[in-house]
Structure 1
Amino acid sequence: MDLSEELQTATWRKATKSASNQGNCLEIAPLSGGRVALRDTEALEKAPFVVSATVWDAFIDGAKKGEFDF
C-alpha cells in the first residue's frame, strides 16, 4: 500500500485532553514501518506531516522530559 492510500485509511487519534475541544487539536496516526502521521484538525485539507519511528521516539522522549515546555 502506498503512503496516500495508507493515510486515507489511517486511524487518527488525539490526546484525551483535546478530545473535548471542538477543533484546535493535533491528531496522530500510526503507519507502517513505525512511521507516524500528524495533522492539525483546523487544516484537514493540508497533507499530514509524516515522520519516521526514530524521529517520533525522540520527540516523545523529549516531551516526557519537558524539553518542549514553555
Structure 2
Amino acid sequence: MPSDPGQLCWRTSSFSGGNGGQCVEVAEAPEGGRYVRDTKDRTRPAHYFTPAEWDAFIRGVKAGEFD
C-alpha cells in the first residue's frame, strides 16, 4: 500500500455527474488495490481495498447486487 494516496492518479466515477455533489474518486494502487475517497471532502482519509476486495465489489456491481 502506498504511504501517500495523495500521490496517486485519481479519477472521478462516471456515475458521479449531476447528482448534487455526491461524487466518488478512485485511484489504483501500485499492487492493484484501489483507494476510494469522497470528492467533496478530500481531507478525510481514503478507503483502501485489496485487489481481491475490489474484484469482489466489481463482480457484485455487475451482478446487480447493489441495485
Structure 1 stretches lacking a partner, 5+ long = none
Partner residue in 1 for 2:24: 26
Structure 2 stretches lacking a partner, 5+ long = none
- Give how far 1:24 is off: 1.6
Report how many residues are paired: 67
- Give how far 1:32 is off: 1.3
Q: Which has the higher contact order (CA 8 A, sep 6+)?
A: 2
What's the TM-score once normalised by structure 1's chain length?
0.80
CA RMSD between the two structures = 1.8
Partner residue in 2 for 1:66: 64
> For 1:52 and 1:64, how far apart are their aligned partners in 2?
18
Can you list the C-alpha shifts for 1:3-61, whole angstroms capped at 9, x where unaligned? 233x1211111222324557320110000111100001122111100010000000000
The share of aligned pairs that are identical, in percent, is: 36
